[in-house]
Structure 1
Amino acid sequence: MFDVQAIRRQFPALQESFDGGPAVFFDNPGGTQVPQQVIDAMVDYLTRRNANTHGAFITSRRTDEVIDRARAAAADLLGAEQDEVIFGPNMTTLTFQLSHALAHEFGPEDEIVVTRLDHDANIMPWVRLAEDRGATVRWADVDVETCTLDMDGLQALITPRTKLVAIGYASNATGTINDVQTVIQWARAAGAYTFVDAVQYAPHGLIDVKALDCDFLACSAYKFFGPHVGILYGKREHLERLPAYRVRPAGDLPPGKWETGTQNHEGLAGVAAAIDYLADLGARYGNVAPDAGRREKLRAAWSVIGPYERMLMERLLDGLSLVSGVRIYGITSRFEWDRRLATVAIRKEGRTPQELAAALAAENIFVWDGNFYALALSERLGVEPSGGLLRIGLVHYNTLDEIDRCLRALERA
């Protein structure tokens, strides 16, 4: 049985009092809370291992071990090889870094496809690349009623001139899960690179870069219960061949050639601990052998997290449909709920998103308002001039009681 109360006890922030009462963390799409084992791992690094890399002394050797463990854990999370995993400050920085490395392959005859459903971090690096190299950007549109991609229109945009297709695994604003597998196949047939932004999907489902056959994929640990560290996957053939902007001692082989400067070592200790936390959930609640590897435990974790989050999402969507004046942006049909995450965007008649967020914050319910850097979507929906959207994001440590508390507060607002 999935014991959410036992899980919640592992998160110190969920036990904290804010202005005299407990908080409801529905700001998860912007960053999740972390379990105690992540905090312990980071404190342990700073206490017992704090040094730079590749030295002859013990704390340096311990740091090397921390980095190796983090890379092995991230490879298991993504289904990648360890030398295909690059660490950096965040997904945005890593994506700009990659766009610089790819730029020399683009010219005026080339085209890049981006979507209006994406976070700007998977749009502007490619727009800037196109501007620098004289390439053309093609925009895939969305259905404004369901906030889903116009797949026919997207397919038509991919031609022999297409050099790269950038797509999000899931929308950070509306929770839409995109059919990235199909888009990758279309791009592959045209000879184009594919870049997948998996930041929003990573806390909710198993990623398998080999099965997807994407060229590049990025995510961020602070979205899946870890610290602020970005992770980039790239096919080995690309990482070895592409020129990286680096200092000379970094070497010519990945991952070192891509990781400029000293990494966030305590953060990497936390990354490994966050992935182990998820694997522990699979070992405890999933149907997996005790001696199974971490990848199989992660697969088992999502097999139990998924149904629990689906239950939370149903409660939230059903409840929101009964709140007077509320409009849900995104998929609302029960028959299509497998195409969305428990990230829900709304507006309420008579209140701006900022006013709603402030009203909820006054009751210790934490949600986001605005465009969440999904600027193209906010503009396409026509809500950007009036404050964007209110976003409620659920993860597996949230509860039905918290959802009911939020619904009552929205009704009162």
Structure 2
Amino acid sequence: MIYDVAAIRAQFPGLKRMQNGEPAVFFDNPAGTQMAQQAIDRMVWAMTEVNANLGGQFETSILAGKLVDDAHEAAKDFINARSVEEIVFGQNMTTLTFMMSRVLGRELKAGDEIVVSRMDHDGNVTPWMIMAEERGLTLKWLDFSPETFEFDIAQVGNIVTDRTRLVAVGYASNVTGTINNVKAIAAAAKAASNGKALVYVDAVQFAPHGVIDVQDIGCDFLVCSAYKFYGPHYGLLWGRQEHLERLTAYKVRAATEELPSKFVTGTTNREELAGIMGAIEYYEWLGRNFGGAIMPTLTRRQRIVAGVEAMLRHDHALADRLIVGLKQVKNVRIMGIADRAAFSRRVPTVSFAMEGCDPTEIAKFMASQGIYVWDGHNYGVEPVTRLGLIDKGGVVRVGPTHYNTPGEIDRFLGALNVYLQRR
């Protein structure tokens, strides 16, 4: 089926924004995508048609409870969990990770080891660093190559020991764009620790660009944020049911011990859950319209996968056009995999630095042209430090996604050349 980017863009009302008489170019997607119409409609529906707290005997409360159940079912299919009892919703990936660091920290003692990564967003680093400091744990680092922008999986076996109790790693980097082989990392960590290490995966940057299958990865926890995959500002965490049942939740006395509600603090945010459900329904729409998933016998999971696969072909084409164009700009250093043959190991997020150019000034110029990009470390404190750029303003980050167009890539490259000519 022909990929119709105009039809896809029509599903995102935010893309109608105009600036300087032209459509704005949204390349800020790694920090937050535009919301799909399906997600917006679901949120409005939740706030107008089923707006009641849970547990009541009346119709709107009963319907609100069904909404919560349906959202858990949709999230289960999105990441291929075994059960809705393995799904925990929360404010965002960072908040959920801070919660889990407190929960998991209760089981650790001085001398235990945890491993974090030099490539990760700070949301998957600082919570564990604080836990290590508070519990007297030994903190170890999994490094990456600043030349290849990838991990050496063999190093996992050298770092992890039978004292290791946690390995935290990102699925895809919000700086380098690298897709990490988290399945191989999880297997290596389990083998080197004699099965004692839990593996915690941050999938925030991967979720908008790939198929998540927690049963295949072999990790113990995985977390992502819906506002990075076309939904509202809310997050979801998956954990193996045996872990979630065993662990102690920090909650009020009146709250239930039953999963999946055990780790939910306070009133469930039903409109956000509706928005997440709508975002997943958008993936299904993509699968039906551009992934060939039109047979009524297909499962929701199959439609989601078909939608993601349709996205990916377009993602790779955009990344190729962007990287080829940047390579033609003098003094540009691309901070990620630039080999077309290796694009299966990266998301389309592309960061770069230019000798003598301030990333903030480039981002400001782009903003004046109606092109939205990010600059700085983007909370990737560790990778930007490892790349030697933390004291040089960080990087310029350009993050196309499946609703962007080749013409928008060309606009960015043209604007970059104009900026350089005016310097």
Residue 281 (structure 1) aligns with: 286
Paired position in structure 2 for 1:138: 140
3-state DSSP class of the match of 1:5?
helix
**Which letter maps to 2:209?**
H
- SS of equivalent residue, structure 2 residue 208: coil
Specify the SS of the correspondent of 2:19: coil
The residue aligned with 1:210 is 215
Equivalent AA in structure 2 for residue 63 of structure 1: A
Where structure 2 has 5 or more consecutive residues not aligned to the other structure, the ranges are none
| Aligned counterparts of 2:189 and 2:253: Cα–Cα separation in 1 | 34
Return the TM-score normalized by structure 1.
0.98
Residue 36 (structure 1) aligned with residue 37 (structure 2): yes
Question: Following the alignment from structure 1 to structure 2, what is the Cα–Cα distance between the partners of residues 229 and 200?
Answer: 14
Residue of structure 2 equivalent to 1:71: 72
Q: TM-score, normalised by structure 2?
A: 0.96
Give me the identity figure in percent. 49
1:379-408 residue CA offsets vs partner (Å, 9 max, x unmatched): 111111111011001110000000000001
1:235-287 Cα deviation digits (max 9, x unpaired): 00000000010112222122111001012211111100000100111111113
Q: Is 2:235 the counterpart of 1:230?
A: yes
Task: Report the Cα offset of residue 36 of structure 1.
Answer: 1.6
Indicate whether 1:343 and 2:343 are aligned. Answer: no
Distance in 2 (CA, whole Å) between partners of 1:349 and 1:12 is 38
- Matched residue, 1:46: 47
The answer as to 2:390 corresponding to 1:388 is: no
Distance verdict in 2 for CA 1:21–1:72, change over 3 Å:
same
State the one-letter code of the partner of 1:168. G
Task: Give me the whole-angstrom Cα distance separating, in 2, the residues matched to 1:38 and 1:104.
Answer: 37
Distance 1:361 1:79 in 2: 39
Paired position in structure 1 for 2:14: 13
2:57 pairs with 1:56: yes
Q: Choose which of 243, 249, 271 in structure 2 pairs with 1:244.
A: 249
Equivalence for 1:84: 86
Q: Deviations over 1:123-166 (max 9, x none)?
A: 11111111111110101111112321233333310111111100
Q: Secondary structure at the match of 2:18?
A: coil
The partner residue of 1:357 within 354, 363, 380 is 363
RMSD: 1.1
1:300 aligns with 2:299: no
Alignment length (residue pairs)? 413
Q: Is the 8 A contact 1:199 1:220 kept in 2?
A: yes
Q: Which moved more, 1:395-404 or 1:58-67?
A: 58-67
1:403 corresponds in structure 2 to 409
Question: 2:258 is matched with which residue?
Answer: 253
Report if aligned partners of 1:155, 1:183 keep a CA contact under 8 Å in 2: no
Q: CA deviation at 1:293?
A: 1.1
1:35-184 mapped onto 2 (5 Å cutoff)? 35-80=36-81, 81-184=83-186
Instruction: Give 1:347 shift.
Output: 1.2
**Deviation at residue 47 of structure 1 after TM alignment:** 1.2
Distance (Å, rounded) in 1 between the aligned partners of 2:133 and 2:185: 24
Instruction: Summarize deviations over 1:187-216 as a string: whole Å, max 9, x none.
Output: 222221000000000000110001112100
Following superposition, the deviation at residue 57 of structure 1 comes to 1.6
**Matched residue type, 1:268:** L
Seen in structure 2, the aligned counterparts of structure 1 residues 115 and 383 have a Cα distance that, compared at 3 Å, is: same
Q: Distance in 1 between matches of 2:19 and 2:242?
A: 50
Give the equivalent residue in structure 2 for 1:187: 189
Deviation at 1:171, TM superposition (A): 0.2
Q: Distance in 2 between matches of 1:336 and 1:21?
A: 34
Residue number among 316, 326, 337 corresponding to 1:331 in the alignment:
337
More displaced 10-residue stretch of structure 1: 173-182 or 140-149: 140-149
What is the distance in 1 between the residues matched to 2:144 and 2:76? 32
Residue 20 of structure 1 and its aligned partner are, at CA, apart by 3.8
Residues in 1 aligned to 2:171 and 2:380: alpha-carbon distance in whole angstroms: 14
**1:350 Cα deviation from its structure 2 partner:** 2.6
Q: In the alignment, is the contact (CA less than 8 A) between 1:146 and 1:329 conserved in 2?
A: no
Q: Report if the CA contact (8 A) 1:29-1:343 is conserved.
A: yes
Rounded Cα–Cα distance in structure 1 between residues aligned with 2:179 and 2:142:
15
* Residue aligned with 1:149, SS: coil
C-alpha distance in structure 2 between counterparts of 1:87 and 1:217, whole Å = 12
- Could you tell me whether the CA contact under 8 Å between 1:141 and 1:154 is conserved in 2? no
